[in-house]
């Protein structure tokens, strides 16, 4: 594990927890990315402003990190079509599971929602199984 960085992981986790707590406390909204994107694509008049600001902040944060620390982002040898298909499958999975890792894993588990706990265990187990299959059976280095 040559990329193990416990202090930056702790700081990142604290910032995510703080941001989701503030959003729930002050706006009464769950910071589930798939729900925010889904609502932005089918906007209700009163929701479009905060959803757009939230998504814009995510994009601007990524751009700022890229400019400040270009090595923070890894690269992939996967073709763009494979990445696009993977993204569509993740989007489908979030709809199928009624939420994503941010909605269930961060917000739902902190409110101890049984549905979110089951979903998070499923996410983690599926991710571990996928890494095992790719590394052991296909010889990949994911």
Average of per-residue pLDDT values in the chain = 83
Parent domain of 128: 76-142
In a domain, 113, yes or no: yes
In a domain, 112, yes or no: yes
In a domain, 46, yes or no: no
Is a pLDDT exceeding 90 seen at residue 64?
yes
State the average pLDDT over residues 1-25.
Answer: 83
Residue 125 pLDDT: 92
Residue 140 pLDDT: 62
In a domain, 126, yes or no: yes
What Cα–Cα distance (Å) separates residue 95 from each residue in 32, 61, 88, 92, 127?
12, 25, 11, 5, 17
In a domain, 140, yes or no: yes
What Cα–Cα distance (Å) separates residue 57 from each residue in 60, 61, 110, 135?
5, 6, 23, 35
Residue 2 pLDDT: 63
The total domain count for the chain is 1
State the average pLDDT over residues 29-43.
Answer: 81
pTM: 0.68
Is a pLDDT exceeding 70 seen at residue 142?
no
Distance CA 38, CA 133 (A): 31
Residue 23 pLDDT: 86
């Amino acid at each position: 594990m040559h990329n193990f960085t416990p202090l930056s992981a702790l700081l990142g986790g604290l910032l995510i927890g703080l941001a989701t707590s503030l959003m729930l406390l002050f706006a009464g909204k769950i910071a589930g990315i798939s729900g925010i994107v889904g609502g932005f694509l089918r906007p209700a008049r009163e929701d479009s402003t905060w959803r757009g600001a939230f998504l814009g902040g995510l994009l601007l944060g990524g751009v700022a990190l890229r400019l400040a620390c270009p090595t923070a982002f890894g690269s992939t040898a996967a073709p763009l079509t494979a990445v696009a298909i993977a993204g569509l499958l993740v989007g489908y999975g979030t709809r199928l599971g009624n939420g994503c890792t941010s909605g269930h894993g961060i917000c739902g588990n902190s409110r101890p929602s049984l549905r979110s706990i089951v979903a998070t265990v499923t996410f983690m187990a599926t991710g571990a199984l996928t890494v095992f299959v790719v590394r052991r059976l296909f010889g990949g280095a994911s």
